[in-house]
Amino acid sequence: MQKLIINGGQRLRGEIELQGAKNSALPILSASLLCDGESILYNCPCLSDIYSAIRILNSLGCRCSFSDNKAVIKSGNLEKFEISEELMCEMRSSIIFLGAILGKSKESIVSYPGGCELGSRPIDMHLDAFRKMGVDIKEEYGKIICKARDGIHGAKITLDFPSVGATENIMLASVLAKGETVINNSAREPEICDLAEYLRKCGAKIKGDGESRIIIKGVKKLYGCEHDIMPDRIAGATYLSAAASTGGEIILKKSCINAMESFLSVLEDAGCSISVAGDVIYLRSGARLKAVKSIRTMPYPGFPTDAQAIIMATLLKANGTSIFEENIFDCRYKHIDALLKMGADIKVRGKTAVVQGVKRLYGASVEATDLRGGAAMVIAGLSAEGKSTITGLRHIDRGYENIENVFRNLGADIKRTE
């Protein structure tokens, strides 16, 4: 079993380049199967979830290679339209392949992705939308069997909640459909815009991405293209937070400033000094951080749920009381037990968590049970006194490229051992 061993207390200083965004690369890899020809994706992060996506593409008959952050995908007619249960279970996001396979083959069989460490994570909005687009759906023994006998047609779809995955799946199913699809109350996340940008380069007709109504006019064919995956705003938030919580100073290059606005303003409220120029963010944090009165997770452009655990770990030693409200997922406070073990003072009631700043944190042995919760444990370990041991690294490796190398380059005492 691999572990991260951290001897906390070092001020992080230095400069790093931000990795490409996992949550943008995954739907774009799925979209690449809609094309005829070759797509080349640059800045594709080297993560276990990306390898899972590539295994799915290869299993469907695409030919993919991936090295040096460059993914090359050759696609044409699919050889298969079913994803095996084993591949579906490797990552929850495998469900975004359903829309793309349907778009291309008009039929698909996938297994139910089930719940995950963040809660139940239903896909009712995805399936309801496909039904509106002419897809018959049966669920048998955990498999979702989908077929559009008369092809997929455009539809007017209003989402009950701006779900990122449902918006992406509908976009993927509709770009090659007959007629026009309108998604009302669509998700506005920057990763949706990156997917739309890639699809437009391939020949798709999409407008309104980044707003609450996306309109897609189906086209006959899509062609491969070259695309740069956008920077990972949550990895960026993680590295800035770690520097902030250790009283450090960091230059984050190749970042996406607009996409990180709500997060940067919380760090400023906590007393960090931040300046930006082009795609570079400079952060300096000196004295003890200040508590932040209210952090409520919301769909974009609100404060991202993916950064909730990360900023919580950052504010554990802040002066005063910080109040969190998690509004997106049911079970996104699982990191709190580990933070308590490290000396934090946190009380949870329902979706609210109250963090009373403490003077010190202490190293402890903790286990990551989800990706961002694991990142929060690393941040707490970096600002704690003494040694922390973190297991459950398979969760952290889903979203961070060489996390220990990045932190070591910033001056942290951190290593990975077997």
Active-site positions read 116
- Between 87 and 318, whose beta carbon lies closer to ligand EPU? 87
Among residues 175, 328, 380, 384, the one that binds ligand EPU under rule CB under 6 A: 328
- Between 186 and 388, whose beta carbon lies closer to ligand EPU? 186
The piece of 69-77, 163-171, 263-271, 312-320 that touches ligand EPU (CB under 6 A) is 163-171
Please give the angle made by the CA atoms of 71, 130 and 173, to the nearest 5 degrees: 30
Work out how close the CB of 197 gets to ligand EPU at its nearest, in angstroms, rounded to a whole number: 16
User: Are 19 and 399 within 8 A, CB to CB?
Assistant: no
Helix 96-105 to helix 22-32 angle (10° resolution) is 20
Tell whether residue 26 is a contact of ligand EPU (CB under 6 A).
Answer: yes
Work out how close the CB of 280 gets to ligand EPU at its nearest, in angstroms, rounded to a whole number: 24
Work out how close the CB of 329 gets to ligand EPU at its nearest, in angstroms, rounded to a whole number: 5
Helix 261-269 to helix 233-245 angle (10° resolution) is 10
Residues 200-239 that bind ligand EPU (CB under 6 A): none
360-399 mask for ligand EPU (x: CB under 6 A)? Answer: -----------xx--------------------------x
Residues 88-107 that bind ligand EPU (CB under 6 A): 93
- Within 13 Å and on the Cβ side, how many CA atoms surround 349? 2
- Between 26 and 289, whose beta carbon lies closer to ligand EPU? 26
Tell whether residue 297 is a contact of ligand EPU (CB under 6 A).
Answer: no
Among residues 42, 51, 161, 223, the one that binds ligand EPU under rule CB under 6 A: 161
Please give the angle made by the CA atoms of 416, 417 and 418, to the nearest 5 degrees: 135
Per-position b or e across 312-330, b if 16+ CB within 10 A of its CB = bbbbbbbeeebebebebbe
- Return the closest-CA partner of residue 19 out of 235, 247, 215: 235
User: 26 CB contacts (<8 Å, ≥6 apart)?
Assistant: 49, 50, 53, 91, 93, 96
Give Rg (Cα) of the chain: 21
- Between 126 and 227, whose beta carbon lies closer to ligand EPU? 126
3-state secondary structure of 149: coil
Tell whether residue 23 is a contact of ligand EPU (CB under 6 A).
Answer: yes
Q: How far is CA 252 from CA 145, 249, 262, 313, 385, in A?
A: 45, 10, 17, 20, 26
- Between 126 and 335, whose beta carbon lies closer to ligand EPU? 126
Q: Judged by CB under 6 A, how many residues of this single chain contact ligand EPU?
A: 21
3-state helix, strand, coil split of the chain in percent (to 5) is: 35, 30, 35
Q: Which residue is nearest to ligand EPU (CB)?
A: 165
Residues 111-130 that bind ligand EPU (CB under 6 A): 121-126
46-85 mask for ligand EPU (x: CB under 6 A)? Answer: ----------------------------------------
Tell whether residue 164 is a contact of ligand EPU (CB under 6 A).
Answer: yes
Q: Amino acid identity of 279? A: D
User: 384 CB contacts (<8 Å, ≥6 apart)?
Assistant: 6, 8, 9, 342, 343, 360, 361, 362, 363, 364
Work out how close the CB of 135 gets to ligand EPU at its nearest, in angstroms, rounded to a whole number: 15
- Between 10 and 93, whose beta carbon lies closer to ligand EPU? 93
Tell whether residue 163 is a contact of ligand EPU (CB under 6 A).
Answer: yes
- Between 15 and 211, whose beta carbon lies closer to ligand EPU? 211
- Between 122 and 179, whose beta carbon lies closer to ligand EPU? 122
Give the span between the Cα atoms of 192 and 28, in whole angstroms: 10
The neighbouring-strand residues paired with 307 are none
Token readout for 9 is: 């207390």
Tell whether residue 132 is a contact of ligand EPU (CB under 6 A).
Answer: no
Among residues 209, 232, 306, 326, the one that binds ligand EPU under rule CB under 6 A: 306
Q: Which residues bind ligand EPU (CB under 6 A)?
A: 23, 26, 93, 121-126, 161, 163-166, 305-306, 328-329, 371-372, 399
